[in-house]
């Protein structure tokens, strides 16, 4: 499944270097939206199968099991060596509180704390590599304006290296810019653009190689507000891939298709649900 693996690798690399507002705050909103939908529909299990084409044999990519009380979701992901990795997320009072995974001796734990209005205030991640006997940690501490929009954050790695992230917002509480500084020196900047429904459409940054602003991600939505297309541009700026999503009448995603710049299908994923 080389085509599909290419999609996953490219997506993962971009996500690792992506924006804090998007990965921390917007992802948190989306996670809770999906969680509430699964609970409302009483979904017990999700299975994702991947194919390189409609005629190829499906392979199980992951399974997601929701506990009866909804306090725990366990995700089993298939690995290239035939084994599986396990990720467990825990919820309290409908809020994501903890995520734990163990893959090839690497244990990763993320803890989530919220302020009095329910907004993420602290995200603490630790990674322990039992083979290398190493332990790394990262804390994302968020501060908000009186209107509830993000003001700034501190990204602290291993209790020493600190990056300050400042957010510029408009009168609709939408984040327009995200600026990273270390020791008062700007090291990265992102721009966010929205449609007339205040839905995020573009995440843009300055590409030093091409010496101009280029999008990292471009989003398109359906009438229900679900993302039906995402265009992803790698940091090299030489190529891009397009993800297309299909949903059923309940709002659950049923299909993901991944295409290259030439509109050739690289891989497809189908989702099935048990209630």
**pLDDT tens string 64-113:** 999 999 999 999 988 777 788 899 999 999 999 999 998 878 899 999 99
Query: Are the C-beta atoms of 113 and 125 separated by less than 8 Å?
Result: no
CA-based R_g, the chain, Å? 19
- Residue with the bigger pLDDT between 36 and 160: it is 36
pLDDT digits (tens, 9 = 90+) for 129-149: 877 778 899 999 999 999 999
Burial class (CB in 10 A: 0-12, 13-18, 19+), 153: buried
Cα–Cα distance for residue pair 96/148, rounded to 1 Å: 19
Q: pLDDT value at position 210?
A: 77
Contacts of 151 (CB under 8 A, 6+ apart): 143, 144, 145, 166, 167
Residue 81 pairs with which residues in a beta bridge? Answer: none
Token readout for 135 is 């332990």
pTM of the model: 0.89
Whether 59 shows a pLDDT value over 60: the answer reads: yes
Cα–Cα distance for residue pair 178/190, rounded to 1 Å: 5
DSSP SS3 for 106:
strand
Cα–Cα distance for residue pair 80/42, rounded to 1 Å: 31
Contacts of 228 (CB under 8 A, 6+ apart): 220, 221, 222, 244, 245, 246, 247
Q: pLDDT value at position 17?
A: 55
Token readout for 58 is 């499906």
Whether 193 shows a pLDDT value over 70: the answer reads: yes
Token readout for 201 is 């459409």
């Amino acid at each position: 499944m080389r085509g599909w693996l290419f999609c996953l690798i490219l997506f993962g690399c971009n996500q690792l270097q992506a924006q804090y507002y998007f990965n921390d705050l917007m992802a948190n909103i989306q996670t809770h939206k999906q969680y509430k939908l699964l609970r409302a529909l009483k979904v017990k299990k999700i299975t994702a199968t991947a194919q390189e084409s409609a005629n190829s044999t499906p392979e199980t990519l992951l399974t997601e099991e929701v506990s009866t009380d909804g306090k725990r979701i366990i995700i089993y992901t298939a690995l290239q060596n035939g084994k599986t990795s396990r990720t467990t997320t825990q919820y309290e009072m409908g809020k994501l509180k903890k995520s734990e995974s163990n893959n090839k001796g690497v244990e990763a734990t993320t803890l989530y704390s919220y302020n009095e209005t329910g907004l993420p205030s602290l995200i603490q991640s630790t990674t322990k590599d039992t083979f290398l006997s190493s332990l790394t940690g990262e804390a994302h501490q968020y501060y908000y304006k009186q209107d509830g929009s993000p003001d700034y954050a501190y990204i602290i790695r291993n209790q020493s290296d600190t990056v300050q992230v400042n957010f510029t917002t408009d009168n609709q509480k939408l984040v327009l810019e995200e600026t990273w500084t270390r020791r008062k020196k700007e090291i990265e900047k992102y721009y966010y653009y929205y449609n007339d429904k205040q839905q995020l459409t573009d995440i843009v940054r300055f590409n030093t190689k091409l010496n101009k602003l280029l999008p990292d991600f471009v989003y398109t939505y359906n009438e229900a507000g679900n993302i039906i297309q995402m265009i992803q541009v790698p940091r090299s700026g030489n190529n891009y891939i397009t993800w297309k999503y299909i949903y059923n009448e309940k709002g659950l995603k049923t299909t993901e298709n991944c295409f290259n710049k030439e509109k050739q299908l690289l891989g497809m994923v189908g989702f099935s649900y048990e209630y």
